[in-house]
Structure 1
Amino acid sequence: MLIVTGYVQVEPTELAQFCNEFSALATATRRRSGNLSYSAAVDDPQDGRLLVVEQWEDQASLSAHLEAADTVAFVDRWRGRMLGNIEKYDASNKRGLMD
């Protein structure tokens, strides 16, 4: 399993538009083969910062998402208007929080 997480930042005045567009992309992404979860939450509205968390079965599934037309279009629309610090992690020992 892959975990993708980090922060995205947009101008606070564009936060609502970004969230609406992200929501539409998330709805489609959650239906994709290999997607386990795909979410973002506003972390600091005054700064326009969101926390992004995704889980994917494997690299092939993540790559297919990153190459999908709607993902590419979303990134192209926001290119130059969003900053991101997103990292990818391999998770091979999943267990409950208290385990």
Structure 2
Amino acid sequence: MLLIVGTVRLPSANLERARPAMRAMVQASRAEAGCLEYSYGEDVLEPGLIHVKELWSDQPALDAHFASSHIQAWRAAWPALGIGDRNLRAYEVGSPRST
């Protein structure tokens, strides 16, 4: 499995305009084969900081995600929304366990 975690930033004034695009991205990604989890969350202390968490079954599923039309539309929206700072990392992980 592949775990993607990190953040993206946008001007807090653009959050309301960004929500429909983020919602569409999350919903389309969750519907993809191999997507086990996909979420964006606003930081409670830093307006405009969005936390990203994705869990994919394998690299081919992630590759298909990167080639999808909805990720192309999401990336095309970045300039207008002021998204420029992205800090995402991919990790290979094993089976989950309760803590």
TM-score of the pair, normalised by structure 2:
0.88
User: Residue type of the partner of 2:60?
Assistant: A
Identity %: 28
User: Residue type of the partner of 1:67?
Assistant: A
Q: Which moved more, 1:70-79 or 1:7-16?
A: 70-79
Q: Which runs of 4+ in 1 moved over 6 A?
A: none
User: Residue type of the partner of 1:2?
Assistant: L
**Residue matched to 2:59:** 59
Counterparts of 1:16-95 in structure 2, within 5 Å, are: 16-44=16-44, 47-79=47-79, 81-82=82-83, 83-95=85-97
Give the match's secondary structure for 2:18: helix
Q: Which moved more, 1:57-66 or 1:75-84?
A: 75-84
Q: C-alpha distance in 1, partners of 2:95/2:34? A: 18
Structure with greater proportional strand content: 1
Q: Which runs of 5 or more structure 2 residues have no equivalent in the other structure?
A: none
User: Residue type of the partner of 1:85?
Assistant: N
| Cα-to-partner distance string for 1:22-56 (whole Å, 9 max, x where unaligned) | 11111111110000010011004753101110100
Alignment RMSD: 1.6
Contact 1:40–1:53 under 8 Å retained in 2: yes
Task: Give the length in aligned residue pairs.
Answer: 97
Q: C-alpha distance in 1, partners of 2:32/2:41? A: 20
Alpha-carbon shift at residue 93 of structure 1 (Å): 4.3
Q: C-alpha distance in 2, partners of 1:75/1:44? A: 24
